[in-house]
Structure 1
Amino acid sequence: MPAQTHGDAGHQPEEAAPTVAVTGSAVVDRDLGEILGAALPWDQLAGKTVLVSGAAGMIPAYAVYTLLALNEAHGAGITVLGLVRNLAKAETVFAALRDRDDFRLVEGDVQEEIPVSEPVDLVIHGASPARPALHAGSPVDTIRANVQGAFGLLDLCVRTGARFVLMSSAEVYGQRADDGSLVSESDYGAVDILNPRACYTEGKRAAETIAVSYHAQYGVPITIARFGHIYGPGMALDDGRVQADFTADVIAGRDITLNSDGSARRTYTYLGDAIAGMFTALLVGENTAYNISDRDGFISIRDLAEAFTAARPQSGLRVRFRDDVDVSQYNPVKGQGLDDARLRALGWAPHVGLRSGIDRTIAWHEERRA
């Protein structure tokens, strides 16, 4: 069954929203307009030089786009340096930005010396192997990128007087009881440190400790953004996480088949809302760490799959279960998500939400196939 286009019958488009012409994608540029609509002191970033590591990744790329959107909408005069390991791949991701004077790609690996000699005012550290397959197949590279990357970029902050933002992860909370609770910023669980899969969890934990150590010893201002399960434009269909798998199924016109009863619950947050949350924590937050998550997206994998099929009802897709899965024991309460109370106390609230976020995620892929 061929993929449906965003404007096909059966799909109700959202109301018009402001856009900022940066990427050439109607979906992404609309997101940027909404992010910049947040009542934040964006002027704090005016005239700054910002280094974004791992810039070609899904979440860091949106940070790049947001900074450039500030230049477009407000003449902010921000210079953005995108540190990337694979220059050719990054040039493809940022093809629409190649002629900009306010953005430059820098090729380098955070596991090695950071190839930046010019002064920077803000470092946003997003370089980290994020795909689960990489954690299993390259655990040394995974932990080294997180640990050595933090040391190298924080040394750069010491030299230049820059502020440091760490894109961390909900993984730092470790293993906790799947009791349907929401995890606050101080609720830590256990980690099996002898399991190589801990390379990502322990790498993120270490990066956070390294950051607070540099703050204590050298006075580097830091903000730690702990992202939950994020989805949105830029998410590769072969990423390996369920939100990517479900998007791939809808795009291909396939029924979604679950390999479990789908009872595990997590907080799923749209990328635009997550980036707005990170900048809220950066610009007005007083705490060190913030969960970047939308508690309204705290649902089961099963319900998430249903939401994806419902996003394109004209395709007639269904949620199925593998033949050997026992769905009779389905528990809609099991699981845990991130508590967003600390972030909401700063005035942040999700603008897009789950249903619209899923629609925009699919629409971005449809846009690219058109």
Structure 2
Amino acid sequence: MSTSPCLPRDAKEIAEMLGDVASDFSGKTIVMAGGMGFLGRYFQGVFEYLNTNVLADPCRLIIADNLITAGKAGEALTESDNFEFRQEDISQGFEVDGPVDFIINLAGIASPYYYRAYPVETLDVAVNGTRHLLEMARDKGARFTFFSSSEIYGDPDAKHIPTPESYRGNVSCQGPRACYDESKRLGETLCYIYHDKHGIPTNTIRPFNVYGPGMQEADYRVLPNFASCIKGERTLKVYGTGNQTRTFCYVTDAINGFLRVIARGVPGEAYNIGNPTPEISVFELVDEIEKVLGKSIDKEVIEYPDSYPADEPNRRCPNIVKARRQLDYNPVITIEDGLKRFFDWTDETYNGEE
């Protein structure tokens, strides 16, 4: 039985969304760094489903992770004859025998709570780790995909929202978020250099607020934080003003977009992957959760705790025209449907303890 948090319904939907793109992975070898995190474990479930139900020849997945933030998820590898786990620190580099067709660099410390705790490690994995993997891609002749972040845009002014890939960003190189934001920007620059100088087919993905089953209860980002409070019947703590806005992308829509970039992205290009609507405030997010759960939820506005960076963007919303036109990417899961799937899962898996 699979230990991936990927819901069977989700895996089937992703396969249907992909259509003939899925066949690009048939018989291929994929190295996935950071493969025991939230997205990596979802990828495991999707590749397992594709191997069992879709692909003419199964793909081989080599999963590398140092487990620094994996928690209990690090104990559970999706069971498959075609998957291999290796505990590796990619910032130190590692070797893979035989051919490699795709390298996916998911490795990173995305939760503000954790990158505040591990700032140097956050820099190392995005810069040194990415360079080691790019050298592997150069040696193997593999396609390379780097997972960057919508954080590289910083805090855009209103005229740049929805934010296109062409926006250069407004990011401080000093401050509590700098270790994450600036390291992702430098990782993107490395991809550009290796494509430009060495002809490596690189792509960069900039995810926007992806959520879904598999997010750790101790992740500390807004939805896992709220879900843990609700499970434990505690008051929701809203940081800042509660008026900061985001769009939220359910994981099936995200994985569909990610795999389209990984398989067919134009070499050298970056892509926003997320859902451009609805853009809602944290207070409006609580309203949506109340509708899904059918009950009112107590909440209070508090100052940012010391463990969480206060300089978060006021708005974040992707322009996905490029991915729509070039990759036929089209997110379809509504906020209501996505939240229901997420909270159904957290109700079964979270313990509600602080």
If the TM-score is normalised by the length of the shorter chain, which range does it land in?
A: 0.7 to 0.9
Corresponding position of 1:86: 67
Name the CA shift for 1:115/1:308 in 2 (closer, same or farther; >3 Å).
farther
TM-score normalised per structure 2: 0.87
Task: Report the alpha carbon displacement of residue 249 of structure 1 after superposing the two structures with TM.
Answer: 2.1
Q: Cα deviation per residue 1:53-79 (whole Å; 9 max; x = unaligned)?
A: 011111122222222221011243100
Name the residue aligned to 1:11: none
Distance verdict in 2 for CA 1:64–1:198, change over 3 Å: same
1:362 is matched with which residue?
A: 343
Where in structure 2 are there 5+ consecutive unaligned residues? 305-313
Partner of 1:18: none
The reply to whether residue 32 of structure 1 matches residue 19 of structure 2 is no
Q: In structure 2, how many angstroms separate the alpha carbons of the residues matched to 1:261 and 1:197?
A: 19
Distance in 2 between the 1:35 and 1:284 partners? 16
Would the aligned equivalents of 1:22 and 1:69 in 2 still touch at CA under 8 Å? no
Task: State the AA in 2 paired with 1:29.
Answer: P
Q: What pairs with 1:5-44 in structure 2 (closer than 5 Å)?
A: 22-23=2-3, 28-38=7-17, 39-44=19-24
Q: Alignment RMSD, CA only?
A: 2.6
**What residue number does 1:225 align with?**
205
**30-39 vs 134-143, greater mean Cα deviation:** 134-143
Q: Counterpart of 1:299?
A: 280
1:144 is displaced (CA, Å) by 0.9
- Residue 317 of structure 2 is matched in structure 1 by 337
Cα-to-partner distance string for 1:82-112 (whole Å, 9 max, x where unaligned)? 10113996885573633x2100101100111
Q: For residue 310 of structure 1, what is the amino acid of its counterpart?
A: K
Match 2:245 to one of 241, 265, 269: 265
Q: Deviations over 1:313-359 (max 9, x none)?
A: 1xx3325333899xxxxxxxx62311122222232222322111111
Between stretches 110-119 and 69-78, larger displacement belongs to: 110-119
Task: Tell me how far 1:24 sits from its aligned partner.
Answer: 7.1
1:135–1:93 CA distance, 2 compared to 1 (3 A): closer
Is the 1:54–1:83 contact (alpha carbons within 8 Å) kept by the matching residues of 2?
yes
Question: TM-score, normalized by length of structure 1?
Answer: 0.84
**Count of aligned positions:** 338
Q: Distance in 2 between matches of 1:174 and 1:335?
A: 9
Give the whole-Å Cα distance in 1 for the aligned partners of 2:106 and 2:289.
27
1:157 corresponds to 2:143 = no
Single out whichever of 141-150 and 114-123 deviates more from structure 2.
114-123
Give a deviation string over 1:276-295, Cα, whole Å, max 9, x none.
11112233333611101101
SS at 2:90's partner residue?
A: coil
**What amino acid is the match of 1:86?**
L
Determine the structure 2 residue equivalent to 1:329.
none
Superposed displacement of residue 297, structure 1: 3.5
